[in-house]
Structure 1
Amino acid sequence: MSREFLLPDLGEGLTEAEIVAWLVAPGDTIAIDQAVVEVESAKSIVELPSPYGGVVASLFGEPGQVIHAGQVLLTVTDAAGGAAADIAAGDALAAAPSEVSGAVLVGYGTTESTRPARKVAAGRFCGTGTPSHTPVTTADAPASPVPMLPVAAAPAEPAASVSAASVSSGALDATRRSPVVSPIVRRLARDNGFDASMLAGSGPNALVLRSDVDNYIRALTALAVAPPSTAPTAPDDASADIRIPISGLRKVVSQRLTTSRREIPEATIWLDVDATALFAARDQLLTATGERFSVTALIARFVVAGLRMYPVLNSSVDTASQEILQHGAVNLGIAAQTSRGLMVPVIHGAHAMSLRQLRDSLAALVAQSPEGTFAPSALTGGTFTLNNFGSLGVDGSAAIINHPEAAILGIGRMIERPWVVEHALAVRTVVELSMVFDHRVCDGGTAAGFLTYVARCIENPVSLLADL
């Protein structure tokens, strides 16, 4: 009997995803809840487990292809119905083939003990490269409801230029399957016409690093710009237009920001603040506790305290019922620039955290920011956003509110400037705070009260003790 594994609902209104890499190949024997494919939605990159055990009959879709919810990802036949894999299947499957899993995504709906452990060489591997895809078709394999072609056999060399480079450098081997952890590394290689797993990785246990892919791309570029002397070349047209598709995360960001601009009558206020005492307080905390606290963590704590004093700013507008929904919990979003684009991971329950807990939660988000590998749950439920655009080297910005929230606070760069202290000119560390708020939710007095409260805490951190 053949069964179809359909792309499940990924939640949050996401109806499509891009195949990053297959973790199995036709003919493989799989167990229930075994991860079989890695997909990238507009929110995050996740591994999907198969709800069926058996022998993989066919794969539908290639890496880089966008598929929609309800489309067939792969077909699985009973181990007893396979051909040469029948004997191995009986030993490999611990669960009965007729058993069906309740899991939708890895880590959801089923305990970890029901999913076979994946071998990890170093760190957490999302996969071990792109498997060799030998198409296997069966007579009873039903067609996909939306026409899609099964995965074709992997070519020995992705392109002619890659073949030339591999001959000259010896770096690419179609039979090699080096481990590749990062989806970004896989995508970078794929966008340049080759499979990252074919490289000899320089990391632990031959792990392919981004530097390995970058070096190989440079080798490709060197071959492209150094043609044979007998072949004249035409100069590149620097004035040629380039079309960049708005897709994936960029598409979702575009839609959300457009909705924000269209629906929210926003207003912006800003304030220059003397942050000299804030740095002194940070140093005092280090001396007293032996622990480091970032300036951003301290300001985040001030923001949470300010939202408890001005709770209407921790709101959203229900346009259907024409009501302001004031949230009880403060779920603090932290705007982050990642390799996937602008993302806003959320620290849930920030109102109940101590400064130390808030610092640790913020540090965990920062560690994930470079590649944007946030869990789907970490990107939802925000009620207020903090944006430290000073890290980009700018003083201020009239930011766009993260819809459906009601406000966003921006932190500019902290720089020494001349400042008047007790009627005398002095050099102080100054930061500009920018506050953008939904004028439907509150008026300028409320927003100004919140902004000046946060500013007062920055200028005199001890003043926060009065509100604790």
Structure 2
Amino acid sequence: MATAVSAQNSTAQRTFRLPDLGEGLTEAELVRWLVAAGDTVAVDQPVAEVETAKAVVEVPTPYAGTVAELHGEPGATIDVGAPLITIAEVTSGGAEVTPSEARAVAREAYREEERAGARPPAPAEASGSGNVLIGYGTPGGAAGGRTRRRKGAAPSSAPVAEPARTTPPADAVRVVSPLVRRLARDLNVQLARISGSGPDGLIMRRDVESAGVTSAPQGVTSAPQGVTSAPQGVTSAGEADARTGLAIASRTPVKGVRKAVAQAMVRSRTEIPEATVWVDADATALVDLRHGLKRRDPGSTPSLLAFIARFVVAGLQKFPELNTRIEETGDGQEIVQFDGVNLGFAAQTDRGLVVPAIRNANTLSARGLDSELRRLTALAREGKASPADLTGGTFTLNNYGVFGVDGSAAIINHPEAAILGVGRIIDRPWVVDGQLQVRKVVQLTLTFDHRVCDGGTAGGFLRFVADAVEQPGGILADL
């Protein structure tokens, strides 16, 4: 319930709705709350951690004030545009504060926080941060903005308060390091209940670790939204399957990344008339080339996958029909061809299979591609890849050889038109100049949308990549 703060101020509740997280995503799973009802929050403070079909992200609030209501329990699915959190804001009752003045107060508050080692509540006047999170922005822009008077309204004669220097309250949570804050969230430790051992009561990492050891088991908190039920996917003892008569060991809801993968695969199989071609290639020369480079410069030698990625990009420039997408139009379909290549690659993570995309891969060398492969793989496995990192591909490279398999007819990553699979490189008997030798052999498999090209184009592309693998020196000289 809103209550009066003083004769000059009053509170008003504002509900922040789950923003559009980009790339057409319509929902997100609430992983956990980072605040509780009654907490004081600042502009841009993360309030919830949500998992979309693409990534796990922290959602910051564009409002400052006191948390009045949390909409949803951890594990719930929230639609984009649905209420996420309600904040009770303190608003000025005597004058209208311009955005530029609000931003000035906010900047001074953050500077004060850095000096004092505390995170103060955001200034009452701040209604937006100007920052952007994956497709949505809180109000605010360049400094010096003006507030337009409503049509027909008389100009206000009340003076506008000068931006005041904000001093953090004595009971503010005294912590500066984002690492300490994240550690506290991971250990389910409430910073407000910790006495810091650092200068002026600053909360240090050791304080959080000590509190985490003595606190209740992770996942059980005193706040209603933090109380967890039985482990997800575990059923009650004795439950039997009616069809087989066997005991059910567990039930795992299909959601998050697994749900997104399932939906994409079903759509791909349903909509795309795919065909598959494959070829074995002698990769001995490529392996020898990389070994030679590694002996001379071990610190910056591209991986074998990076070399193959470079061959793929060159092949797509020669056979652009595979770097396309089918789009529905009012009177049928059309093939959209791209000027450039965003090369996606399959990466296995603890959350499931994701496909980061290397933007403008056609502009990168093998070393540049290797750097991006490593960077995006690390982000994906740490759960830090953004939706922008995991979308926008125009062609996918799938290295299933890391799982110890030779070949696979992969499913096309909808709405792309093709995917190239790379098997493991193994020693196999191979005929060279009429003589049987042991060579390093790899199987390349191309699955393509038969609507965008015929077998001749698909075969030509696959043969180009295979020839590059077999004779890398000649191809690389032209790239």
Calculate the TM-score normalised by the size of structure 1: 0.72
| Secondary structure of 1:418 counterpart | strand
| Secondary structure of 1:271 counterpart | strand
1:295 matches 2:304: yes
Residue of structure 1 equivalent to 2:475 = 464
Q: What do the CA deviations read for 1:114-140 (whole angstroms, capped 9, x no partner)?
A: 9x9962337976945446699xxxxxx
Aligned residue pairs: how many? 380
Indicate which of 315, 321, 346 corresponds to 2:324: 315
**1:28 Cα deviation from its structure 2 partner:** 1.9
1:281 matches 2:289: yes
Q: What do the CA deviations read for 1:440-460 (whole angstroms, capped 9, x no partner)?
A: 111111111111111111111
Same amino acid, percent of matched pairs: 52
Letter aligned with residue 100 of structure 1 = G
**1:372 Cα deviation from its structure 2 partner:** 4.2
Q: What do the CA deviations read for 1:210-265 (whole angstroms, capped 9, x no partner)?
A: xxxxxxxxxxxxxx9xxxxxxxx999999224543222222221221111111111
1:269 matches 2:269: no
1:258 matches 2:266: yes
Q: Distance in 2 between matches of 1:411 and 1:381?
A: 21
Q: What do the CA deviations read for 1:128-170 (whole angstroms, capped 9, x no partner)?
A: 5446699xxxxxxxxxxxxxxxxxxxxxxxxxxxxxxxxxxx9
| Secondary structure of 1:431 counterpart | strand
Indicate which of 289, 305, 314 corresponds to 2:314: 305
Letter aligned with residue 174 of structure 1 = A
1:384 matches 2:395: yes
Q: Distance in 2 between matches of 1:454 and 1:190?
A: 52
| Secondary structure of 1:337 counterpart | strand
Q: Distance in 2 between matches of 1:350 and 1:270?
A: 24
**Matches of residues 89-108 of structure 1 in structure 2 within 5 Å?**
92-97=120-125, 99-103=127-131, 105=133
**Relative to 1, partners in 2 of residues 1:301 and 1:37: Cα closer, same or farther, differing over 3 Å?**
same
**1:303 Cα deviation from its structure 2 partner:** 0.6
Q: Is the CA contact 1:302–1:454 (under 8 Å) kept in the aligned structure 2?
A: yes
Q: Distance in 1 between matches of 2:291 and 2:183?
A: 38
| Secondary structure of 1:9 counterpart | coil
**1:172 Cα deviation from its structure 2 partner:** 7.2
Residue of structure 1 equivalent to 2:215 = 173
Letter aligned with residue 96 of structure 1 = A
Q: Is the CA contact 1:16–1:41 (under 8 Å) kept in the aligned structure 2?
A: yes
**Relative to 1, partners in 2 of residues 1:77 and 1:6: Cα closer, same or farther, differing over 3 Å?**
same
Residue of structure 2 equivalent to 1:51 = 62
Q: Distance in 1 between matches of 2:406 and 2:21?
A: 38
Q: What do the CA deviations read for 1:418-455 (whole angstroms, capped 9, x no partner)?
A: 11111111111111100111111111111111111111
Letter aligned with residue 18 of structure 1 = E
Q: Which moved more, 1:65-74 or 1:346-355?
A: 65-74
Q: Is the CA contact 2:34–2:47 (under 8 Å) kept in the aligned structure 1?
A: yes
Q: Is the CA contact 1:37–1:47 (under 8 Å) kept in the aligned structure 2?
A: yes
Q: Is the CA contact 2:238–2:247 (under 8 Å) kept in the aligned structure 1?
A: no
Residue of structure 2 equivalent to 1:447 = 458
| Secondary structure of 1:319 counterpart | strand
Q: What do the CA deviations read for 1:338-384 (whole angstroms, capped 9, x no partner)?
A: 11111111001100112211110011122234344321101111000
**Relative to 1, partners in 2 of residues 1:122 and 1:358: Cα closer, same or farther, differing over 3 Å?**
farther
Structure of higher CA gyration radius:
2
Q: Distance in 2 between matches of 1:119 and 1:438?
A: 50
| Secondary structure of 1:360 counterpart | helix
**1:37 Cα deviation from its structure 2 partner:** 1.0
| Secondary structure of 2:451 counterpart | coil
**Relative to 1, partners in 2 of residues 1:408 and 1:80: Cα closer, same or farther, differing over 3 Å?**
closer
| Secondary structure of 2:179 counterpart | coil
Residue of structure 2 equivalent to 1:197 = none
| Secondary structure of 1:378 counterpart | coil
Q: Is the CA contact 1:274–1:431 (under 8 Å) kept in the aligned structure 2?
A: yes
**Matches of residues 397-436 of structure 1 in structure 2 within 5 Å?**
397-436=408-447
**Relative to 1, partners in 2 of residues 1:113 and 1:459: Cα closer, same or farther, differing over 3 Å?**
farther
**1:103 Cα deviation from its structure 2 partner:** 4.3
Q: Which moved more, 1:63-72 or 1:326-335?
A: 63-72
1:42 matches 2:53: yes
Q: Is the CA contact 1:21–1:129 (under 8 Å) kept in the aligned structure 2?
A: no
Residue of structure 1 equivalent to 2:257 = 249
1:14 matches 2:25: yes
**Relative to 1, partners in 2 of residues 1:20 and 1:118: Cα closer, same or farther, differing over 3 Å?**
farther
Letter aligned with residue 177 of structure 2 = K
**Relative to 1, partners in 2 of residues 1:293 and 1:71: Cα closer, same or farther, differing over 3 Å?**
same
Letter aligned with residue 240 of structure 1 = A
Q: Is the CA contact 1:47–1:105 (under 8 Å) kept in the aligned structure 2?
A: no
Residue of structure 1 equivalent to 2:3 = none
| Secondary structure of 2:339 counterpart | coil
Q: Distance in 1 between matches of 2:191 and 2:17?
A: 19
Letter aligned with residue 254 of structure 2 = I
Q: Is the CA contact 2:89–2:124 (under 8 Å) kept in the aligned structure 1?
A: no
Letter aligned with residue 260 of structure 1 = S
* Structure 1, unaligned runs of 5 or more: 82-87, 135-169, 179-186, 195-223, 225-232
Q: Which moved more, 1:104-113 or 1:366-375?
A: 104-113
Calculate the TM-score normalised by the size of structure 2: 0.71
Q: Is the CA contact 2:184–2:190 (under 8 Å) kept in the aligned structure 1?
A: no
**Matches of residues 163-242 of structure 1 in structure 2 within 5 Å?**
173-174=215-216, 193=231, 239-241=246-248, 242=250
Letter aligned with residue 133 of structure 2 = L
Q: Which moved more, 1:357-366 or 1:4-13?
A: 4-13
Q: Is the CA contact 1:49–1:103 (under 8 Å) kept in the aligned structure 2?
A: no
**Relative to 1, partners in 2 of residues 1:318 and 1:435: Cα closer, same or farther, differing over 3 Å?**
same
Q: Distance in 2 between matches of 1:274 and 1:339?
A: 33
Residue of structure 2 equivalent to 1:220 = none
